[in-house]
């Protein structure tokens, strides 16, 4: 996810695997504090260190609306009774991390960016059972690039399976593959590392058993500037 601080004009990116807290931070910063939304889930970045708006609908999970009636009202404003029942049923059956809904950015955020912004900071969120409080640690740009690519490979594994099968079929038929996974990954890694070389990427280590409210409270102290 990515967003811009309207007071400092700094643009930050949050990376990490699914369920680590990116959307929760995005909602807090862009609804409760003075930040402007750029992207959720996928950040489109360029080799000249800009991030571009991605206005696809953010996915809001059940745990994102706990204690937030305003968010809940907006999320279900045009929903049917069956949709609301399904939400509650699946939440109780599968847990709050398994049910979600998508909503347009301009319906839930105070401000939405429409142009590209220079990247100033990058944070990789990581949950671990080896600590008991949130910590911020510097990481070198090479490792930041590799970790980011690892996340993309994992999160979009079904997409890359299609590319692999395209390579496989093309080789058997005697054609040159249109896309090669090795080229895709090497180009992305080059872009990541070029961007991260000009900033100081950080890892935010988060206790795996921290409750959602405490997580947001501690992160608010860090980013409410």
Instruction: Encode pLDDT of 77-136 as tens digits.
Output: 888 888 888 888 888 888 887 888 888 898 889 899 999 999 999 999 999 999 999 999
Q: Is the pLDDT assigned to residue 196 strictly greater than 90? A: yes
d(CA 114, CA 151): 26
| pLDDT band of 160, cuts 50, 70, 90 | very high
What pLDDT is attached to residue 90? 86
Mean pLDDT of all residues in 153-182: 94
Q: What is the DSSP letter of 177?
A: P
Higher pLDDT, 38 or 89: 38
**What pLDDT is attached to residue 180?**
94
d(CA 24, CA 124): 14
Query: Phi and psi for 201 in degrees, rounded to 5?
Result: -65, 150
User: Alpha carbon 221 to chain centroid distance?
Assistant: 20
pLDDT band at 169 (very low <50, low <70, confident <90, very high): very high
Q: In this predicted model, what pLDDT tens digit does every residue of 39-67 receive, in sequence order?
A: 998 899 999 999 999 988 888 888 888 77
Taking the C-alpha atoms of residue 163 and residue 155, their distance in angstroms, rounded to an integer, is 15
Task: Please tell me the distance from the alpha carbon of residue 137 to that of residue 178, in angstroms, as a whole number.
Answer: 40
Residue 202: enclosing H or E segment and its boundaries?
strand 202-207
């Amino acid at each position: 996810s990515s967003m811009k601080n309207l007071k400092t004009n700094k643009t930050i990116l949050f990376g990490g695997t699914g369920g680590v807290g990116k959307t929760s931070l995005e909602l807090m910063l862009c609804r409760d504090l003075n930040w402007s939304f750029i992207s959720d889930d996928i950040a489109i970045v360029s080799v000249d260190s800009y991030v571009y708006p991605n206005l696809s609908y953010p996915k809001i999970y059940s745990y994102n609306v706990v204690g937030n009636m305003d968010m809940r009202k907006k999320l279900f404003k045009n929903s049917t009774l069956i949709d609301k029942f399904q939400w509650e049923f699946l939440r109780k059956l599968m847990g709050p991390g398994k049910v979600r809904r998508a909503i347009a950015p301009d319906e839930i955020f105070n401000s939405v960016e429409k142009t590209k912004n220079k990247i100033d900071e990058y944070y990789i969120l990581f949950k671990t059972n080896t600590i008991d409080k949130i910590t911020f640690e510097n990481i070198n740009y090479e490792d930041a690039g590799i970790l980011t690519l690892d996340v993309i490979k994992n999160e979009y594994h079904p997409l890359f399976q299609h590319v692999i099968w395209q390579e496989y079929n093309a080789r058997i038929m005697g054609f040159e593959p249109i896309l090669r996974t090795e080229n895709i990954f090497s180009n992305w890694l080059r872009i990541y590392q070029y961007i991260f070389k000009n900033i100081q990427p950080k890892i935010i280590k988060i206790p795996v058993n921290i409750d959602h409210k405490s997580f947001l409270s501690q992160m608010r102290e860090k980013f409410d500037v």
